[in-house]
Structures are given as C-alpha cells and as structure tokens.
Amino acid sequence: MSLFAGIKKFFKGLDQQHRRKAVEDLEWEMHELQHIFGLLTLGYMVGLPSAPLPVAWELLPDMPQEFAIMLARLNTAQNPLSEQFSRLDVS
C-alpha cells in the first residue's frame, strides 16, 4: 500500500470512528431525552409528578419506545450505575 493510500485509509478510519462515536453520543443523548419524556408522561408509575393522566394515557399507545426505556430503567433500578458504566466502557 502506498503511503498516500495508507494515510487516506487512516483518515477515513478516523472519520468513521468519529462518526460512529458521534452517532453513539447522539443516540445516548436521545435515549436520555426519551427517558425524560417517559418520566414526564408516565412518572406517576414511579411516584413522580407527571402530566395529567388523560394526557399520558392518550399518548401511551404512540410511545412504545419511551415506554420500553422506562420499563428497562425500572428493571435496572437496583443497579442504576450499570448503564453509566457500560456507557463509559468501564464494565
């Protein structure tokens, strides 16, 4: 492989890595926002103040993703740091 091609490949790899990292970060942020969205609507399930029940209930059938995130968080509630650690590649 020529030096030039090597460098090009190196940069391409770097770019892909950056992109992947950026996407991962964004996905994590979006996930967090979705979790907050879940809490604002379904927070009453865990004793948090949340949107009036009729509003939440009408939203529910259209937000399976947010609902799933909330349920998953509830299930890992005993070990709330696990997600953070896996995010930080500490596990």
Partner 1 sequence: MSAARPQVRFFMGKGGVGKSTLSALSALYHADRGRRVVLASFDPAHNLGDIFQRKLADRPVSVLENLSVAEIDPEKWSREYLKEAEQQFRAAYAYLTTFSLEKHFKVIRHAPGVESYALMRAFDHLYRDGKADILLLDMPPTALSLSFLALPKLSLLWLGQLHALRVEIQKKQKMINRLRLGRREMERDRVMENINRQTERWRERSAVFSNNAQTRYLLIENPDALSALENTRIEERLKELGYGKPERVVNKAADDQSAFPLAPGLYGLEKMRAYIARHKSVFDALIR
Provide the binding-site residues for partner 1, judged by CB under 8 A: 19, 22-23, 26-27, 29-30, 33-34, 36-37, 40-41, 44-45, 50-55, 57-64, 66-67, 71
Comparison of 52 and 91: residue with beta carbon closer to partner 1: 52
Q: Is 87 within 8 Å of 28 (Cβ atoms)?
A: yes
Pairwise CA distance, residues 33 & 30, whole Å: 5
Comparison of 36 and 83: residue with beta carbon closer to partner 1: 36
Pairwise CA distance, residues 61 & 52, whole Å: 16
Comparison of 60 and 81: residue with beta carbon closer to partner 1: 60
Amino acid at 8: K
